[in-house]
Amino acid sequence: MNRICELFSIRYPIIQGGMVWCSGWRLASAVSEAGGLGLIGAGSMHPETLREHIVKTRIATSRPFGVNVPLLYPEMEIIMQIITEEKVPIVFTSAGSPAKWTNWLKERGIIVAHVVSGSVFALKCEQAGVDAIVAEGFEAGGHNGRDETTTMTLIPAVRKSTSLPLIAAGGIGSGGAMAAALALGAEGVQIGSLFAASEESSAHPRFKQLITTLKEGDTKLSIKKLAPVRLIKNKFFELVDNAEQNGASKDELLSLLGKGRAKRGIFEGDLEEGELEIGQVSSTIDTIEPVSRIFDKLINEYNTTIGKLSVL
Amino acid sequence: MNRICELFSIRYPIIQGGMVWCSGWRLASAVSEAGGLGLIGAGSMHPETLREHIVKTRIATSRPFGVNVPLLYPEMEIIMQIITEEKVPIVFTSAGSPAKWTNWLKERGIIVAHVVSGSVFALKCEQAGVDAIVAEGFEAGGHNGRDETTTMTLIPAVRKSTSLPLIAAGGIGSGGAMAAALALGAEGVQIGSLFAASEESSAHPRFKQLITTLKEGDTKLSIKKLAPVRLIKNKFFELVDNAEQNGASKDELLSLLGKGRAKRGIFEGDLEEGELEIGQVSSTIDTIEPVSRIFDKLINEYNTTIGKLSVL
Contact B150 A280 (CB under 8 A): yes
A247 vs B220, B246, B307: nearest CB: B246
Q: How far is B199 from chain A (nearest CA, A)?
A: 23
* CATH architecture type of domain A3-203+285-305: Alpha-Beta Barrel (3.20)
B157 vs A146, A284, A306: nearest CB: A284
Tell me the HSE value of B99 on the side-chain side, using a 13 A CA sphere: 5
Work out the angle at residue A100's Cα, subtended by the Cα atoms of residues A94 and A102, and round it to the nearest 5 degrees: 75
Contact A177 B152 (CB under 8 A): yes
pLDDT at A245: 81
B152 vs A180, A215, A305: nearest CB: A180
Q: How far is A207 from chain B (nearest CA, A)?
A: 21
* Residue A301 touches chain B, beta carbons under 8 Å: no
Q: What is the dihedral of CA B203, B282, B158, A14, to 10 degrees?
A: 170
Q: What is the distance, to the nearest Å, from the Cα of residue B281 to the centroid of all Cα atoms in its chain? A: 13
pLDDT at A161: 96
* Residue B162 touches chain A, beta carbons under 8 Å: no
Could you report how far apart the first and last alpha carbons of chain A are, in Å? 26
Using a CB-CB cut-off of 8 Å, the residues of chain A touching B245 are: 247
Query: Residue B199 has what DSSP assignment?
Result: T
Work out the angle at residue A137's Cα, subtended by the Cα atoms of residues A262 and B179, and round it to the nearest 5 degrees: 140
| Of B187, B142, B15, B181, nearest in space to A155 by CA | B181
pLDDT over threshold 80, residue A301: yes
| Of B219, B222, B220, B217, nearest in space to B253 by CA | B222
At B221-231, the pLDDT tens digits run: 999 888 999 99
Residue type, B215: K
Using a CB-CB cut-off of 8 Å, the residues of chain A touching B148 are: 217, 220-221, 280
Contact A149 B220 (CB under 8 A): no
3-class secondary structure, B16: strand
pLDDT at B258: 86
Contact A216 B118 (CB under 8 A): yes
**Facing residues of A220 across strands?**
A231
A138 vs B150, B284, B299: nearest CB: B150
pLDDT at B308: 96
Domain ranges of chain B: 9-203+286-305, 205-281
Q: What is the dihedral of CA A207, A214, B142, B5, to 10 degrees?
A: 130
Backbone angles phi, psi at B137, to 5 degrees: -85, 170
pLDDT over threshold 80, residue A1: no
Q: Is beta strand A229-232 parallel, antiparallel or unpaired with respect to A142-143?
A: antiparallel
Work out the angle at residue B149's Cα, subtended by the Cα atoms of residues A144 and B297, and round it to the nearest 5 degrees: 90
Task: Return residues 201-240 of A near B (CB < 8 Å).
Answer: 215-217, 220-221
Q: How long is chain A?
A: 312
CATH superfamily of B9-203+286-305: Aldolase class I (3.20.20.70)
DSSP string covering A113-149, please?
EEEESSHHHHHHHHHHT-SEEEEE-TTSSEE--SS--
Q: How confident is the model at residue B50 (pLDDT cuts 50, 70, 90)?
A: very high
At B134-181, the pLDDT tens digits run: 999 999 999 999 999 999 999 999 999 999 999 999 999 999 999 999
Q: How far is A71 from chain B (nearest CA, A)?
A: 23
pLDDT over threshold 90, residue A73: no
Contact B156 A138 (CB under 8 A): no
pLDDT at A154: 98
Contact B309 A118 (CB under 8 A): no
At B69-88, the pLDDT tens digits run: 999 888 999 999 999 999 99
pLDDT at A225: 85
Please return the burial class of A11, using the count of CB atoms within 10 Å of its CB with bins 0-12, 13-18 and 19+.
middle
Task: Choose, out of A152, A214, A245, the residue to mutate when testing the contact with B (most B CBs < 10 Å).
Answer: A152
Comparing alpha-carbon positions, the chain B residue that sits nearest to A303 is B311
Q: How confident is the model at residue A247 (pLDDT cuts 50, 70, 90)?
A: confident
pLDDT over threshold 90, residue B60: yes
Contact A152 B171 (CB under 8 A): yes
pLDDT over threshold 90, residue B246: no
Using a CB-CB cut-off of 8 Å, the residues of chain B touching A173 are: 153, 156
* B13 vs B187: CA distance, rounded Å: 7
